[in-house]
Amino acid sequence: MTLRNDRQTTLAEPVTLRGIGVHSGGPASVTLLPADAGAGIVFQAHDAKSGREVETPAHWKCVSATALCTVLGDPKSGGVATVEHLMAALRGLGVDNVIVEMDGPEMPIMDGSSADFVEAIEQVGLKTLGAPRRYVRVLKPVRIAQGDAWCELLPHDGTRFEVTIDFETSAIGRQSLEIDLTPANFRRELARARTFGSVADVEKLWAHGFALGSSLENSVAIADDKVVNPEGTRWPDEFVRHKTLDAVGDLALAGLPILGLYRSYKGGHRMNHAILVELFENAGAGAFEIVEAPARREMGSAEVVSGLSAAAFGPNVS
């Protein structure tokens, strides 16, 4: 993969999305703001107790929970929950620097996929910045296993995901997906894949005050080994596509794009995060390196990227 003249990007203009929080069931909105080169992705939220604004970098060190979704910091004091679908859209489209301004502790779930975030980003377009893009390049295999589930990062010329899931219900079964991560592939093959779960599990979560915003409008529901949604699935293998989307979003918390192959079997948010901890903290010297695209001879002013294809789906944005 050539890194020649590969520049950092941000949004050309701010954009706002409005929806509901999948766990609170209440209104939730988020505004994506342009940011300077080197800023990365930073979440800004209001801490009601202290009255101050809290900034939380989109970074694996800030992950505080992975049971139901990926959580950064403490949502009760300025942290944010359910970041994976937005992070997947940003990484999938190659957006390096954004301020994510929250109006509460939870991202809007939208339709349960990254589609609305992709549409919002493409609505305003990207701006190329003068600074070179930096990457995490995997240099040697890194692997973790938990029971019969496992995941690993391997050296690879580019960014690739090979994900396999295996569920007892015949509505899902065993599904595999192999995909090179490019903006075109992300838009076409992953962005519209929705989150999913069993009706029985959601009912248990409701009883404990969780998933109050979950519905057939934002998830694929399964009962009696059948998909409950009247429209069915968007692909026969939508389930593994969504697991891959989640992996793209979770691995975006490396802080920089990863050059490597990510493989997983029966993975999820917890293991996606664990492989980053393994890579950066436990694998030892020589597991990775930070590489930077070569600088241009002439550094011009920032320019707006043109030609972004319009998606065929649209969120409530302003």
Report if residue 171 sits inside a domain. yes
In the predicted model, what is the mean pLDDT of the chain?
A: 90
How crowded is the C-beta side of 267, counted as CA atoms within 13 Å? 34
pLDDT for 305: 40
Kindly state whether residue 316 falls inside one of the protein's structural domains: no
Which of the two residues, 262 and 201, has the higher pLDDT score? Answer: 262
For residue 266, pLDDT over 50 is answered with: yes
**Residue-level pLDDT at 274:** 98
309 within domain boundaries: no
Dist. CA 88–CA 194, nearest whole Å: 13
Q: What is the pLDDT of residue 312?
A: 28
Query: pLDDT band at residue 5, thresholds of 50, 70 and 90?
Result: low
Model confidence at 4, in pLDDT bands (50, 70, 90)? low
Answer whether residue 317 is part of any domain. no
Q: Which of 46, 156, 208, 269 is catalytic?
A: 269
Q: What percent of the chain has pLDDT over 90?
A: 78
* pLDDT at residue 36 in the model: 98
Q: Is 248 within a domain?
A: yes
Residue 62: pLDDT band (50, 70, 90) is very high
* Contact yes or no for 47/54 (Cβ under 8 A): yes
Is residue 312 situated within a structural domain? no
Q: What is the CATH number of the domain that holds 14?
A: 3.30.1700.10
Is residue 314 domain-resident?
Answer: no
Q: What is the pLDDT of residue 106?
A: 92
Is 46 within any annotated ligand binding site?
no
Q: In the annotation, is 208 catalytic?
A: no
Rounded CA-CA distance 247/242 in Å is 9
What is the pLDDT confidence band of residue 25, given thresholds at 50, 70 and 90? confident
Residue 253 included in any domain: yes
- Which range marks the domain in which residue 135 is found? 7-304
Number of domains in the chain: 1
Mean pLDDT along residues 256-284: 97
pLDDT in tens, 178-230: 999 999 999 999 999 999 999 998 888 778 777 788 999 999 999 999 999 99
Tell me, what's the pLDDT at 253?
A: 98
**Residue 47 known to bind ligand:** no
What is the model's pLDDT at position 164? Answer: 98
Residue 300 pLDDT > 50, yes or no?
Answer: no
Q: Which residues contact 101 (CB under 8 A, 6 or more apart)?
A: 30, 31, 32, 33, 44
| Per-residue confidence (pLDDT) for residue 205, from 0 to 100 | 78
Query: Residue 295: what pLDDT?
Result: 64
Task: Please say if the pLDDT value at position 275 is more than 50.
Answer: yes
Q: What is the pLDDT of residue 150?
A: 98
